[in-house]
A and B are shown apart, each in its own frame.
Chain A
Amino acid sequence: MSESHHPTGIKRWLYTTNHKDIGTLYLWFSFLMFLVGGVMALVIRAELFQPGLQLVEPNFFNQMTTMHGLIMVFGAVMPAFVGLANWMIPLMIGAPDMALPRLNNLSFWILPFAFFMLLSTLFMPGGAPNFGWTFYAPLSTTYAPPSVTYFIFAIHIMGASSILGSINIIATIMGMRAPGMGYMKMPLFVWTWFITAYLLIAVMPVLAGAVTMMLIDIHFGGSFFSAAGGGDPVLFQHIFWFFGHPEVYIMILPAFGVASAIIPTFARKPLFGYHSMVYATASIAFLSFIVWAHHMFTVGMPLVAEGFFMFSTMIIAVPTGVKIFNWVATMWRGSMTFETPMLFAVAFVILFTIGGFSGLMLAIAPADFQYHDTYFVVAHFHYVLVPGAIFGIMAAVYFWLPKWCGKMYDEMMGKVHFWLSFIGLNVTFFPMHFVGLAGMPRRIPDYALQFADFNMISSAGAFLFGFSQVFFLGIVLQTILYGKKARSEVWDNPHGLEWTLPSPPPYHSFTQPPQVTMAHASPR
């Protein structure tokens, strides 16, 4: 960083418009939120360790489930992916920075305020939001604690941050690619983020609309969601899931991109089916707009709607399957080694597929009448989000951390972290399938005795998983402080423009557009 002229200390981070700094800020912020949300998850699992109420009261338990969901979705997963996008997209497409650097600074720095506001509700009279992260009306309107107004503003700010970030990413990808970097040559991480960014600007405003309607209902005598004034609580669910289902893909598509970068690197073989990967991602994104009501099969929809949403949901399995098959085919006849990023990526493919299987089961509308709102659903979406989104992010961190800081992490420690996380998460979430099928509803602070054994196992796994993430923090800090010097390529002949830069890359990289050759473009 010798050539750079930038302020140091706190001012550097407050005023920075550098994509690498902002990426770093996003990543650290998301890790902090990951720990906060994780502590809440552990409160939940501690209470559920045994039947009976031991640690917290039901109302506080509901606050924990609500805040855990909101913080993990909006505070941990989404900002982490935005952080990866900030760091990697300019490096991958040969751009000197993001297209709108000052906007970039703004979209990060409003986030801490949003989460400060959200977390402060825990200390307000009436407590934090306790109506679940899906905040169904009228529990979240007429029956909400007073802090709901702060919750609404926090969601607005998070939404604004996501939208600004997405516009920036779209502008960067469309307007800043180095000469020769055609769309169909972009790395898949860039592609998946490009599609994700469009999903974000399409659905975050809808969420903003939903919370605005809530605000009108609560404070200005509206009745969008109250039957008394001619509204309908079910309308809320439709609007929410019109946002919510694409949101699910927002949290997974960039992880698809990460896996598509890592698996070929460690299989030492080009990615199989680059074009079908792009088309599959685009079709998943398109389909995500017409499946939302599969979250509402028991709400009393007409038969035709049940059939339509069942079918469209099942069809999503096709492009998703294509992606899985492509990754397996990439591994096939490769020359594989299993460094930590590859371990995370392979676990991502396997466990995400298991989440996909339970997703297919949930798509069967009649069967969903049994699965809906049980721990089976909890197991399903945690299998999609933890080994899906979170493992994707961790794989990316191990993969690119040596590039970012110029130092190599300790391979042995990385593997230990992987195995602890892998075992922890399966012990936590796999038994949830069983208790769900056996009839345990979700979002309950106490349960019948026949669910006791598996819940105890789940809780034990959760603590293992939780503490292994503290270990992860240790590994990252150790790497930054004491890691061995990393080469600019880091791995064996990796593919892409980012590896042509030294590790760490200069503060201002690609000030001159690089020459994009077949060696850097995808597919090679």
Chain B
Amino acid sequence: MQAPDKKRIHAIVIRSSLITVLMFGFGFALVPLYDVFCDLTGLNGKVSLTPIHPVSTPGEVPDVRQIQMQFIAINNETLPWEFAPREFSLPIQLGKPYVTHYRAKNLSSRSMTVQAIPSVSPGLAAQHLSKMECFCFEQQRLEAGEEMDMAVRFVVSPSLPQSFSVMTLSYTLFDVSDKNTTQLTRN
């Protein structure tokens, strides 16, 4: 019987197993990497779920350029809420902060908690949108039949490329009543 170099084989096995473990970790590392990637490229029109305060450079004049900002409301899984933007479309000037409101009413006969998830189209425009205040930053709870106005305060940066003349911001409401303990795992 030939004696293969046991030590060498041992080393190869260790090395290969290490690759395996690292790649398993890499699979999970793809999760935060993907978020970074989304932030950089506007993939999926993902918008941050935490407030961003735009740094205004002193002396910077707001761009005179105007774009059309559209607002959409979507109920996931036919959520029994009335949910709609106060105004569907706003002409906005770049660099200037605006406030708009969404109206929500819980039509069901129990109290419910929802999480609003924002999305922007075209996706690449997302990185030029900063929200200082948003009802999507935390879960919203309404008693049966209760209604409220929810505010979004935002600014679109003058860095928005010329090729964009319209930007759509959507909010999708997800029912998270059963997941009261679950906070947002990621943003």
Within 8 A of A (CB), among B18-38: 19-28, 30-31, 34, 38
Known: A205-B27, A208-B24, A302-B123. A230 touches B184 (CB 8 A): yes
Known: A95-B4, A221-B182. A301 touches B27 (CB 8 A): no
* CB nearest neighbor in A for B18: A201
Known: A230-B49, A235-B34. A209 touches B24 (CB 8 A): yes
Binds A, one of B7-15, B91-99, B140-148: B7-15
Within 8 A of B (CB), among A280-303: 300-303
B34 touches A202 (CB 8 A): no
Binds A, one of B62-70, B100-108, B171-179: B171-179
Cβ-based interface call for B46 (8 A): yes
* Chain A neighbourhood of B34, CB < 8 A: 232, 235, 238
State in angstroms the CA–CA spacing of A99 and B10 once bound together.
10
State in angstroms the CA–CA spacing of A198 and B23 once bound together.
11
* Chain B neighbourhood of A154, CB < 8 A: none
Cross-interface CB contact of B187 among A175, A210, A230, A242, cutoff 8 Å:
A230
Cβ-based interface call for B130 (8 A): no
State in angstroms the CA–CA spacing of A301 and B42 once bound together.
8
State in angstroms the CA–CA spacing of A332 and B118 once bound together.
61
Binds B, one of A410-418, A471-479, A487-495, A509-517: A509-517
Cβ-based interface call for B5 (8 A): yes
Known: A205-B21, A205-B27. A512 touches B42 (CB 8 A): no
A232 touches B16 (CB 8 A): no
Residues 203-239 of A, flagged 1 when their CB comes within 8 A of B and 0 if not, give: 1111111101100000001111011111110110011
Known: A99-B4, A302-B124, A304-B41. A229 touches B9 (CB 8 A): no
**Main SS of the interface on chain A?**
helix
Cβ-based interface call for B56 (8 A): no
A229 touches B182 (CB 8 A): yes
A202 touches B124 (CB 8 A): no
* Chain A neighbourhood of B184, CB < 8 A: 229-230
Nearest-Cβ distance from residue A163 to partner chain B, whole angstroms:
5
A227 touches B186 (CB 8 A): no
B41 touches A235 (CB 8 A): no
A201 touches B31 (CB 8 A): no
State in angstroms the CA–CA spacing of A205 and B30 once bound together.
12
* Chain B neighbourhood of A511, CB < 8 A: 1-2
State in angstroms the CA–CA spacing of A232 and B47 once bound together.
12
Interface size class of A (residues with CB under 8 A): 35 or more
Known: A166-B16, A167-B13. A223 touches B27 (CB 8 A): no
Cβ-based interface call for B57 (8 A): no
Cβ-based interface call for B17 (8 A): yes
Residues 500-511 of A, flagged 1 when their CB comes within 8 A of B and 0 if not, give: 000000000011
* CB nearest neighbor in A for B114: A228
- Residue among B5, B23, B31, B42 with the highest chain A CB neighbour number at 10 A: B23
* CB nearest neighbor in A for B118: A227
Known: A175-B4, A203-B23, A513-B2. A224 touches B16 (CB 8 A): no
State in angstroms the CA–CA spacing of A232 and B119 once bound together.
11
Cross-interface CB contact of B26 among A170, A206, A230, A302, cutoff 8 Å:
A206
A171 touches B123 (CB 8 A): no
B5 touches A175 (CB 8 A): yes
* CB nearest neighbor in A for B3: A96
A510 touches B19 (CB 8 A): no
Cross-interface CB contact of B9 among A100, A226, A231, A234, cutoff 8 Å:
A100
State in angstroms the CA–CA spacing of A458 and B23 once bound together.
40
Cross-interface CB contact of B185 among A201, A209, A222, cutoff 8 Å:
A222
State in angstroms the CA–CA spacing of A163 and B176 once bound together.
39
Known: A206-B24, A227-B172. A232 touches B41 (CB 8 A): no
State in angstroms the CA–CA spacing of A222 and B49 once bound together.
17
- Residue among A212, A230, A512 with the highest chain B CB neighbour number at 10 A: A230
State in angstroms the CA–CA spacing of A163 and B27 once bound together.
15
Nearest-Cβ distance from residue A169 to partner chain B, whole angstroms:
10
B12 touches A170 (CB 8 A): yes
* CB nearest neighbor in A for B173: A228
* Chain B neighbourhood of A207, CB < 8 A: 27
Cβ-based interface call for B43 (8 A): yes
* Chain A neighbourhood of B157, CB < 8 A: none
Cross-interface CB contact of B44 among A210, A239, A300, A303, cutoff 8 Å:
A300
Measuring CB to CB, which residues of chain B are less than 8 angstroms from any residue of chain A? 1-2, 4-5, 8-9, 12-13, 16-17, 19-28, 30-31, 34, 38, 41-46, 49, 76, 115, 117, 123-124, 172, 174-176, 179, 181-182, 184-187
23 A–B contacts, CB within 8 A, in A order: A96-B1, A96-B2, A99-B12, A167-B17, A171-B16, A176-B9, A201-B19, A202-B19, A206-B27, A208-B24, A210-B27, A212-B27, A224-B185, A228-B115, A228-B174, A230-B185, A238-B30, A239-B27, A242-B30, A302-B41, A302-B123, A305-B43, A513-B2
Measuring CB to CB, which residues of chain A are less than 8 angstroms from any residue of chain B? 95-96, 99-100, 163, 166-167, 170-171, 174-176, 198, 201-210, 212-213, 221-224, 226-232, 234-235, 238-239, 242, 300-305, 510-513
A227-B174, A242-B30 given. 10 additional CB < 8 A pairs? A99-B13, A174-B12, A175-B8, A198-B19, A213-B31, A229-B184, A230-B117, A239-B30, A242-B27, A303-B124
